[in-house]
Amino acid sequence: MTSIIRSTQGGCWGSDRPRLWLYGSVFDPAVMPLIDRVESLQGVIRKVKRIEAMGQTGRSNYVDVTKFPKAGTSKLSTDEMPEAPTAPSTYNEKILANYVPVYVMLPLGVISNDNVFEDQPKMEKQLKELRAAGVDGVMVDVWWGIVESKGPKQYDWSAYRSLFALVQECGLKLQAIMSFHRCGGNVGDEVTIPLPQWVLDIGETDPDIFYTNRKGNRNKEYLTIGVDNQPLFDGRTAVQLYSDYMKSFREHMSDFIEAGLIIDIEVGLGPAGELRYPSYTGTQGWVFPGIGEFQCYDKYLEAEFKEAATGAGHPEWGLPDNAGEYNDTPGSTEFFGLNGTYMTEKGKFFLTWYSNKLINHGDEILDEANRAFLGCKVKLAAKVAGIHWWYKSPSHAAELTSGYYNLKDRDGYRPIARMLSRHYAIFNFTCLEMRDSEQRADAKCGPQELVQQVLSGGWREEVEVAGENALSRYDSNGYNQMLLNARPSGISREGLPKQIMYGVTYLRLSDELLKDKNFKIFKTFVKKMHADQDYCADLGMYNHQIGPLERSKPKLVMEDLLEATKPMEPFPWGEETDMKIDDFDGVLANLIRKLFSLFK
């Protein structure tokens, strides 16, 4: 396959002011008066250049600052302006193995509720800016509530085909999310896209098709897993609804798949597209850092639990009635408090059933996805939520209500990774950007430890691990944390690192991201994710070649999942990334430190 090599900048500077590339970062000539005060600047710069030339990437990427006019001279002419770094004729192959592709999530409402691709000129401009910045591709929600809105099996893919054609024209890859959930009610949801109306109509006569809390409040964000195999939808089960949708997608998007545009199919498995229960939802009054509520009180799940408890010899056991409400703390409840119900035989039985139902749901839908895309050159993926609050409390209450049975002596994420490995699926995790020090102390948050546990579990189960930020960030601190998590042990100069993320998706494309200062830092972030290598169009050059999707491996037995709950120490993690980004002030300070260090 011929490699297409381009500069990550593509000649787009973002402003009229000339920029200087030094130490792999954007540098502004406006700081030159400060540097002019350093004695023997030319000699110092030559030393700096010699040091940089022997840097970790194996090639120099700088402009000779001694050729810039000093402060006070006339403005640079067009001919004197530094050009964007040109693409090298060859890559450093060993360093290229550290390349982590970067994708950007498109706006939630890029396709309108009326199934129209609106404002195409603006989207084209933004996509071209992303491509010029070195971004590898984009991710987009393909909303069930839009495509199948007119009636059962009445699919209309026309607007998405127009969008995909534009993405292809702009030279980007595509990750498509099979979004079987409602948009609206979660953090960052700026538009409302409900489930198909004909599905909601069925819910009017049978409200138990929706997740339900102990008080009987219904959540219409996603169908309860209790109806996965109930033929309530004009003779089809929920699993069949999802399966038919994915088969139709493959049929109508086959040309894009065959052309290599669509490389990932992320299968929505719950609210916000994540494999979890809707335990924390703003539409029902939840606010951070509430523990959330169990969501298994619809008649279908209640009947299943009763059957399971009876089969275990405890027909008297019912669903929890002492687990508190959305905004409680663990200690205020009998279930999650000190020596609480979660530690008893009854509590353990319930939590095992609750979490296994979720894993089985994901397993069944992914099996259908595997059948739908069998033989296609795509990867399947599933997303798991980063429930980081109360992670450092004994009961991990917020994780438990979400369906992640994770405690100090029990790993709740490695069984999910093992299930995903059966389908050759990517494990996509959130909250990569978060640090413990940024969180509320009283919420006992542990995003850093959580990410380390989850990613380590995925790597131990030999699945590809990808991730994204949970909240929009434009600062170097957030980007640096993502860079650290992408390569916990740093750059390997001998080829593929032992632990490296398969890809990172940035949430999300917006006017705010594209503002000069924000986009400047973002472009540096992309370059650092690429291990300071230029954009690489050939996936095989960094070990991401995609072959035809194979049939899923045999179904796991319960013993396999239980074995995966054994806790293990995470892999070693660096204190900070070795591909650190500085904002403008940080660049200046770092440059001055480097200059003066040469005199010591």
Indicate which residues carry an active-site annotation: 274, 468
Q: Give yes or no for a contact between 497 and 485, defined as CB atoms under 8 angstroms apart.
A: no
DSSP 41: H
AA letter at 599: F
Q: Give yes or no for a contact between 43 and 33, defined as CB atoms under 8 angstroms apart.
A: no
* C-alpha 279, offset from chain centre: 20
Nearest to 341 by CA among 357, 317, 358: 317
Calpha distance 378→246 (Å, rounded): 13
Q: Three-state DSSP class for 240? A: helix
Q: Which two tokens stand for residue 317?
A: 């056991």
Calpha distance 65→349 (Å, rounded): 68
203's enclosing H/E stretch is helix 197-205
Q: Which two tokens stand for residue 438?
A: 């940024």
Q: Three-state DSSP class for 257? A: helix
Q: Three-state DSSP class for 222? A: strand
Q: Within the chain, what is the greatest distance between any pair of CA atoms?
A: 88
Pairing status of strand 379-384 against strand 25-27: unpaired
Calpha distance 192→184 (Å, rounded): 5
Place of tokens 């939802």: 281
Nearest to 107 by CA among 122, 95, 93: 122
Place of tokens 């402003």: 15
Q: Which two tokens stand for residue 61?
A: 């990427």
DSSP symbols for 500-542: --SEEEES---TTTTSHHHHHHHHHHHHHHTTTPPEE--GGGG
Calpha distance 589→137 (Å, rounded): 33
Calpha distance 478→460 (Å, rounded): 26
Write out the binding residues for substrate.
141, 181, 189, 383, 388, 430, 469-470, 508
Query: Among positive and negative, which fits the CA dihedral 372, 374, 377, 381?
Result: positive
Residue 175's beta-bridge partner residues? Answer: 139, 264
Nearest to 288 by CA among 442, 129, 67, 404: 442
Angle at 217 between CA 234 and CA 202, to 5 degrees: 15
Calpha distance 21→52 (Å, rounded): 12
* Exposed/middle/buried for residue 453 (C-beta within 10 Å: 0-12, 13-18, 19+): buried
Q: Give yes or no for a contact between 120 and 520, defined as CB atoms under 8 angstroms apart.
A: no
DSSP symbols for 437-475: GGS-GGGT--HHHHHHHHHHHHHHTT--EEEE-SS---S
